[in-house]
Amino acid sequence: MLEIPGIVEPTFSRRCFLQTAGYAAIAAALNQRRLSASKNAPHTPIRSCVLLMLYGGPSQIDTWDMKPDASSEVRGEYRPIKTSVPGLINCEHLTACAQIMHKLTVIRSMHHDLTNHNSAMYQALVGKTPSSNNEVLGENRLGDFPNVAAAISYATAHGALPRTGNPLINVALPHVMHNVVDLPGQNSGFLGGSHDPFQINADPNTDQFRVQNLQRPPAVSEPRLQDRRTLLKSLDQLQVENVDLESYQRRAFELLQNDTVQSAFRIEREPTSVREQYGRHKLGQSLLLARRLVESGVRFINVHDGVRNGQTVNWDSHSSLFPRHRELLAPFDQGFATFINDLAQRGLLNSTLVIAMGEFGRTPRVNVNGGRDHWPNCYSVVLAGGGVRQGTTYGASDSLGVYPHSHPVTPADLAATIFIRFGINPETEIQDRTGRPFKLSEGRFIPVF
């Protein structure tokens, strides 16, 4: 069993400092004891993962798992269309995706039992079941289990994955997902803030797009920046309690002075034709930026959908689902299909696992308000790249899309699969802030590779 220590309290006493030094020694040992995936792990490990989260829960029956032979209150208003894979259909508003179906795998049997957005999002991003379905979970709780992206960041920092030359490991854009509070599951929990995502809260579609935290003030020249860093180092040597703060300062200076990081966010350098192919909207340009981050060596990129023209218009369609989904499907269809094609043309698709999903799906039957309600019991997840078998489906829902009919899959299984595809054993244990050990994932590998 390989144990990775948790994070100590941020206020450092002498005792805590000595404990931290001990943890550092253990972390150094991990460089000699690299985490490994199971012996049956397929293919070369992936280099990056892009998770496109369609917050609110898109309807599986009106997108990837249509039921054209069901009654009208189940099949809904949308018509099915043929795809590039004979025998596979999808929604008429996913025409671009229909043309790349031979590059995709659709899991039609994802399921869990949490009907609340907050708890379901935690389950989806972390792969663990939260304490309650109904509570509005607090944002960024230090006791939470880290999400998959944070665990990948932690594994990289401790030598389990090789560095790529880009100090950014875990990036989220273009906003934080929010429902009363910031949705849980978006951070590193008990692993500590150093593994939280580098959060971008700006629209890449605007002409003024800049990542504020990466901009050096105009009045601060490079020599002056170096002088400030030297001064901070000398101050940090005077007080033990700044040990953790110094690591943040070091990272900040590294990002400001790293050409790879700075160049990755210069989306304005993309040809106009490429930007138009992705779509001149927030989602399309966020996916284009994700491609640039993949190229630059970022391990995990979280792309959050659910905002249109500055307004929250997510997939949570309890009423008027069909006009609302039609509005959301158009930019998704354009941006997602272009993203997959672009990765393939640049030779990046095989080394990049792409996942598109919501935190749950929608009820099989249309309600009296023309909408569908929350339904975690059976929904669809789309995979591409990373060695996934192309042009197929895995698992199936029953005739009405109520429950899985075959090969049921859980969020824990998806988490385990991501770890294995990175070359990390999901049974590896990490410790929380009290020293309790937990496996990275209790799930099983999904055999779609």
427 and 288 fall within a common domain:
yes
Q: SS3 of 145, please? A: coil
The pLDDT of residue 306: 75
CB atoms within 10 A of CB 434: 8
Residue 359 falls inside a structural domain:
yes
The two structure tokens encoding residue 325: 């989904």
Residue 449 falls inside a structural domain:
no
Which of 232, 264, 296 lies at the terminal end of a domain, its last residue?
A: 264
226 and 163 fall within a common domain:
no
Which of 231, 264, 297 lies at the terminal end of a domain, its last residue?
A: 264
47 and 170 fall within a common domain:
yes
The two structure tokens encoding residue 58: 């898109």
318 and 195 fall within a common domain:
yes
CATH number, domain at 301?
3.40.720.10
Question: Which residues does residue 301 pair with via DSSP β-bridges, in sequence order?
Answer: 50, 171
Residue 447 falls inside a structural domain:
no
- Phi, psi (rounded to 5 degrees) for 385: 70, -170
202 and 93 fall within a common domain:
yes
- How much is the pTM? 0.86
287 and 418 fall within a common domain:
yes
Tally of domains in the chain: 2
Q: CA geometry: angle at 284 spanning 281 and 286, to 5°?
A: 100
230 and 322 fall within a common domain:
no
Which of 194, 229, 264 lies at the terminal end of a domain, its last residue?
A: 264
Helices and strands in the chain: count of H runs, count of E runs: 12, 21
Residue 220 falls inside a structural domain:
yes
User: Amino acid letter at 188?
Assistant: S
166 and 278 fall within a common domain:
yes
- How far from 3 is each of 29, 85, 169, CA to CA, in Å? 11, 45, 22
Q: How far apart are CA 400 and CA 405, in angstroms?
A: 10
259 and 282 fall within a common domain:
no
Which residues are CB-neighbours of 250 under 8 A, at least 6 positions away? none
Residue 286: which domain range? 3-210+270-439
The pLDDT of residue 309: 55
List the one residue out of 336, 270, 276, 271 whose CA is nearest residue 303: 336
The pLDDT of residue 97: 98
111 and 238 fall within a common domain:
no
Q: How far apart are CA 89 and CA 92, in angstroms?
A: 9
238 and 381 fall within a common domain:
no
296 and 221 fall within a common domain:
no
Residue 173 falls inside a structural domain:
yes
The two structure tokens encoding residue 123: 């389950």
Q: Quick check: 113 and 403 in contact, CB under 8 A?
A: no
List the one residue out of 27, 51, 128, 143 whose CA is nearest residue 353: 51
pLDDT digits (tens, 9 = 90+) for 321-364: 999 999 999 999 999 999 999 999 999 999 999 999 999 999 99
The pLDDT of residue 133: 75
The pLDDT of residue 232: 53
Q: CA geometry: angle at 229 spanning 192 and 28, to 5°?
A: 45
Residue 444 falls inside a structural domain:
no
Instruction: Tell me which residues of the chain have a pLDDT lower than 50.
Output: 1-39, 240-243
The pLDDT of residue 236: 54
The backbone region for 336, taken as left when phi is positive above 0, alpha when psi lies in -120 to 50, beta otherwise, is alpha
Q: Quick check: 75 and 65 in contact, CB under 8 A?
A: no
Q: Which residues of 287-316 are buried (b: 16+ CB within 10 A; e: fewer)?
A: bbbbbbbbbbbbbbbbbbbbbeeeeebbbb
Say how many CA atoms lie within 13 Å of 296 toward its Cβ: 25
Residue 446 falls inside a structural domain:
no
CB atoms within 10 A of CB 66: 23
Residue 149 falls inside a structural domain:
yes
